[in-house]
Amino acid sequence: MERIVVVGAGLAGLRAAERLRRRGFAGELTIIGDEPHRPYNRPPLSKEVLSGAQDPESCLLPSDGIEATWLLGHAATGLDLDRRVVGIGDDEVPFDGLVIASGCAARPWPGAEGIAGVHTLRGLDDVAAIRAALAGRPRTVIIGAGFIGCEVAASLAGLGADVTVVDQASRPMVPLGPVLGARAEALHRRHGVGFRLGTGVASVAAGSVTLSTGEVLAAGLVLVAIGAVPNVGWLAGSGLKLAGGVECDRHCFAIGQENIVAAGDVASWQAGRGPTRIEHWTNAAEMGIAAAANLLAPPEEQVAYDPVPTMWSDQFGHRFQVAGHLADAEEFHTVVDEGDVLVLEGVAAGRLVCAAAINGGSRIAKYRRKLMAR
């Protein structure tokens, strides 16, 4: 290969580009990003950056050492498999190898685009807009009690804001399960966050959110935190399989392709447990590395990507952590429950399949190593 294009200038794209160079690729490397920023760390956005404890510039990841052509602020608009070119508006970038790492976009509330005071949070520019809106100390409604919604609620409550979180689910952060979810709700309520759980949203307007119960919540600021959508629109009509993201085999290659890999939030690959797509920091970093290595390797040296996922979320000085797939557990056993520390083991057929904790310290890292050794 003489020309490799990486579409996506986030963590997965950065790690892929780094690995390409470290594996000896000396050809032409082009990195395309739809944001004007060099790669940056996203986890602090909903926490330290939003609260003002960390400057946005401190989120930038080291990237100056990568010899590449950076096309930033230019979203990819198409892919021609026969001609091997990526479209960028009226221009085209040819490739011999392609890394798709275009990530996800925040899922908007239908019909709320353009309504004053309604925001989503995915990138640096989103945080800047929300921080500007906070200057008037508005009452805030967060639609969605997932990880981003709860992290933002914790950040804003820490600033003294009046925050209410709305979700159809009966508890926050559903993937964590009922025990950790209940602890999370109690933690938030102790810090003044209000909840409307088991409740839908009927409509969103400038200055208010109307719930399915008929209750109207005043809201000078509304954050829509209802998940993310893989950025695959630019691949429509390309011939790639796109159900739930870019469909890949267990070596990260797009199905039916020998010179195209995908990594990070946008990739849905055949892991040992079936089709899998993970939207967490660790997976973006590790899959970017794995995909790039396999792109350069001959078939007999390619390594299947089947990691033990891990994630964390910091809220009100408490760290929620997970190793493994919580959905695979048939039951959970409490290992530690002392003060602010809670550690759970998830088992299936009597076998450890995951672990979850609040303030578990290094325990989750140990559980991950144990699961990886199996």
The identity of residue 28, as a single letter, is E
Residue-averaged pLDDT of the chain: 96
pLDDT tens column, 262-321: 999 999 999 877 889 999 999 999 999 999 999 999 999 999 999 999 999 999 999 999
Q: Predicted confidence band at 329 (pLDDT cuts at 50, 70, 90)?
A: very high
H or E element in which residue 130 lies = helix 124-133
Residue 80: its pLDDT value, please?
98
Note whether 112 and 210 are within 8 A (CB). Answer: no
- Residue by residue, DSSP assigns 221-278 as EEEE-S-EEES-GGGTTSS---TTSEEE-TTSBBTT-SSEEE-GGGEEEEETTEEE--
Which structural domains are found in the chain, ordered by start?
A: 3-105+228-301 (3.50.50.60), 108-224 (3.50.50.60), 317-372 (no CATH)
Could you give the 3-state DSSP secondary structure of residue 24?
A: coil
pLDDT tens column, 116-150: 999 999 999 999 999 999 988 999 999 999 999 99
Return the closest-CA partner of residue 356 out of 262, 317, 331. 331
DSSP 298: -
pLDDT tens column, 241-264: 999 899 999 999 999 999 999 999
What is the token pair recorded at 69? 């052509």
pLDDT tens column, 151-174: 999 999 999 999 999 999 999 999
Ramachandran region, residue 165 (left: φ > 0; alpha: ψ -120 to 50; beta: rest): beta
CB atoms within 10 A of CB 200: 12
Residue 108: its pLDDT value, please?
95
Residue 374: its pLDDT value, please?
75
Which of the two residues, 113 and 314, has the higher pLDDT score?
A: 314
pTM: 0.95
pLDDT tens column, 200-242: 999 999 999 999 999 999 999 999 999 999 999 999 999 999 9
Could you give the 3-state DSSP secondary structure of residue 368?
A: helix
